[in-house]
A and B are shown apart, each in its own frame.
Chain A
């Protein structure tokens, strides 16, 4: 048995450490540890702040899935205060959510994940002529033709299209060659390039993918142009409680949003659609198909047993999640849990998640058995609903090494800054794959009803990919490849979602409605003395929930359960391992000293550790204070 540590796991957001016990003879991972190694305490920072500012603070949980936390936070505050935002604001936020999801997915595949699949060194063996031919074949075989119902189509022809000229690939090959020969590998340094998995794909696939890696490095920025117009910047665009700050006026040249500005958003949506349909999706499917053909259908882990979603994209403005209106008109109704999908749809069990489940103290809870926290006054294995959440940090050193020099973490004890979230006492995987499994299972079980256009697109995509792979969805979806492929499918749905809501926005403005903000309850004097709210959002990495308690106009309690906390959480003695740990234990490692398969399967979740490792409300806990007086500088008070 060999103990293998990867720390830091790079090409992710934040600080993650994994440890695995590998049986060297079989390559089987007997045990795995996933540890979030940092926390920042942002929920404590939220206390006593103005709830109208909450989105700005909590958005800083993460700059990779920037906007995700702002949107969930706005929904929580608006739920608490009973604010329904205007139609235009809802459509604008939906465009921002969709463009965020796509940009996040694109940057994940090309810049965070691709170098686990392809290598610049292998690309050097490629024939540029054969690569050009391959590009044509990829476009012929792996483009998916699905579109949404949007009627306005301002684009004459797709402006973003992969080049398939041998000269083009030759240029990139020479560029890579020059970098390799210079010895200055820069970002390509220190990877296990000699790992046998880099031999799975032909050299031409490597050259094509590395070329697109570089192209997308410069192109991804255009996907979030809607944020720059509608929210003023990206990362971390601006919002307001009650709607959007970007007022619309077709009479004013200085207006935040007028025809000229809308045209910039429209152009970006068109660009995005081409980038997804012509680059991202075909590239992922081509690579995924080769992997699946070679028998790589492992790494599914917990997704075979249990996945969870909240559903999203309400078609029209809603009054909140607490009163259930959030669930009534969703375009993607993945609000529920699917168990045992890995055994086939017939044996899978679907349980709907309703608004009363969200606020019930029994359904969604968090434990700290193996997290560096304690619940004073409670048993060590007790779980608490986030409303009653306590944070009392209780760091315990590693199994081997010291507190500030870890050799091996203690899987028997506490080993992560992440808590362990549970649904009815059980652990769940969340994310694009979870969303797709839930929609597919609901449809097959006849509980979906008439699919919305987005759900129909999802079902058509799953069907098309199953035909390409010649495998049933329950075989290819809950795998490492499936997790990565579904993310690309979801980007296509989201690119149509942007178009769809842009259409609605134009139609609504055309009808004479230019309102973007509901300011009826802007003044805290209009608020009740005490209010509670929940904001749900299907973030790029999965089901996200924010809770707020407002007392006397101020934030009295702020909570969030984040997708990466669901997926990367430490184990629970009763419920077993979380999604990262299970996925690692469902993966074979060829060379324990070069655990490429481990980082690859972990990256298939698109880890976002800063999201996962922040602190829950510690009531009255004494803490060390750092004075941040602008005139006297920063001092730590011991």
Chain B
């Protein structure tokens, strides 16, 4: 297991033509939301860089993020795990188990010290020395810290890993939190969502595989190409919001016509994710398209921003909109105005965050 291969090496070894290789690169360029003039850079990256070794750890989680990863259509799951990364440790897909598997983890950490990508799914349970999340007879928090030490970069997959997720919701019985405090100063990519969109999950790792560096990140450590837009701004129902056409209750005329779900509690206006543009299953749908208001699952503490049926300003920074004097008849109008104000506040916050953003972090090679 000494030789590390580039994607091009793999294509050569598997007897795949240069033409298919370039085609694969073109597909990847499009998939990662890059413009076509980036193609030469993609090709160069695929030719030169060795396959990244990936170690995937599981904390307090539901395995929904693995399942989402496997739903990816471009690239397909088989292509990711057999041709584009070297997935050496995963509780879900790896053949091995028990003692030899744990020994393999230690070997991998040593052999690829400073080179491997650590993908983490799930929250870190901290209460009582971490005994509420044990694996291999040891607390997960210890394993995470040990493996993170030798990582080139860390990817936090899903809202549990980025900010604690459901087990960290009030009253947080196991003292769970996101992983950022437990990985030292390693470069971190936050990929929130419950779960994240399949092609976002594979897209992040393909970016690292091809370019040898982390994708450009925003102030919260999220890849800009996937979390740069609010769902509200990319939603195909946005024109109905602008026109004041709303579903007032489930299954009413507006619901059937596909009007805006803002008044049913939709969190699209405060949620940064690719549901509106990429959608799920390559454009097939997303909750709003299927008639369900967004619950904001890529927001840090969305589980405590409930009930989900309450519409935004009621719990948001503007206070309860229904209590701001106006009668019911004008409540919608106030809501829309308030929404506009909220957008401005969010935009300002985001600009501030971006100012504070660090320079693009390079993966140490």
Partner of A634 from the list B178, B289, B295, B297 (CB cut-off 8 Å) is: B178
Closest Cβ of chain B to A617, distance in Å, is 11
| Contact (Cβ within 8 A) B303 A45 | yes
Among A230-238, A320-328, A541-549, A567-575, the stretch that binds chain B is A230-238
Closest Cβ of chain B to A265, distance in Å, is 11
| Contact (Cβ within 8 A) B250 A8 | no
B77 within 8 A of A: yes
Among B31-39, B95-103, B147-155, B221-229, the stretch that binds chain A is B95-103
Interface size on A, residues (CB 8 A): 117
| Contact (Cβ within 8 A) A184 B63 | no
Chain A residues numbered 62-88 whose CB sits less than 8 Å from any CB in chain B: 62-64, 66
| Contact (Cβ within 8 A) A228 B173 | no
**CB-CB < 8 A to A253: which residues of B?**
258
Q: Mark A7-48, 1 if CB is under 8 A from B, else 0.
A: 111111111010000000000000000000111111011010
Partner of A229 from the list B72, B127, B284 (CB cut-off 8 Å) is: B284
A636 within 8 A of B: yes
Interface size on B, residues (CB 8 A): 116
* Smallest Cβ-Cβ distance to A181: which chain B residue: B13
Q: Mark B147-191, 1 if CB is under 8 A from A, else 0.
A: 000000000000000011111111111111110010000000000
* Smallest Cβ-Cβ distance to A66: which chain B residue: B64
| Contact (Cβ within 8 A) B63 A232 | no
Among A53-61, A129-137, A446-454, the stretch that binds chain B is A53-61
| Contact (Cβ within 8 A) B284 A5 | no
Partner of A11 from the list B14, B97, B103 (CB cut-off 8 Å) is: B97
Say yes or no: A53-B14 contact (C-beta < 8 A), given A63-B63, A405-B137, A636-B175.
Answer: no
| Contact (Cβ within 8 A) A175 B280 | no
* Smallest Cβ-Cβ distance to B104: which chain A residue: A190
| Interface SS of chain B | loop
The answer for the CA separation of A636 and B289 in the assembled complex, in Å, is: 39
Partner of B87 from the list A186, A217, A218, A245 (CB cut-off 8 Å) is: A186
A403 within 8 A of B: yes
B142 within 8 A of A: yes
A625 within 8 A of B: yes
A179 within 8 A of B: yes
* Smallest Cβ-Cβ distance to B127: which chain A residue: A624
Among B41-49, B78-86, B325-333, B355-363, the stretch that binds chain A is B78-86
Closest Cβ of chain B to A190, distance in Å, is 3
Q: Mark B314-349, 1 if CB is under 8 A from A, else 0.
A: 000000000000000000000000000000000000
| Contact (Cβ within 8 A) B101 A190 | yes
Which residues of A does B touch, CB under 8 Å? Answer: 5-15, 17, 37-42, 44-45, 47, 49-50, 52-53, 56-57, 60-64, 66, 107, 111-112, 115, 174-175, 178-179, 182-192, 214, 217-218, 220-221, 224-225, 228-240, 242-249, 251-257, 264, 395, 398, 401, 403-407, 417, 514-517, 519, 522, 595, 599, 610, 615, 618, 623-626, 628-630, 634, 636
Besides the contacts A38-B132, A228-B285, A255-B258, what 18 more A-B pairs have beta carbons closer than 8 Å?
Answer: A7-B136, A8-B97, A38-B135, A41-B174, A52-B308, A111-B92, A190-B100, A231-B292, A233-B286, A244-B291, A245-B293, A249-B256, A255-B256, A404-B139, A404-B142, A417-B132, A628-B170, A634-B177
Report, nearest first, the 8 A-B pairs whose CB atoms are least far apart.
A63-B64, A254-B258, A41-B173, A190-B96, A232-B287, A238-B292, A232-B290, A406-B137
Which residues of B does A touch, CB under 8 Å? Answer: 1-5, 13-15, 51, 58, 60-68, 70-73, 76-78, 81-82, 85-88, 90-104, 125-140, 142, 163-178, 181, 194-195, 198, 236-237, 249-251, 255-259, 280-281, 284-293, 295, 297, 300-301, 303-304, 306-309
Q: Can you list 20 residue pairs at the A/B interface with Cβ under 8 Å?
A: A6-B97, A7-B98, A10-B95, A11-B91, A38-B132, A39-B132, A47-B171, A50-B309, A174-B15, A184-B3, A184-B86, A189-B104, A232-B289, A232-B291, A233-B286, A234-B280, A243-B250, A246-B292, A403-B131, A624-B172
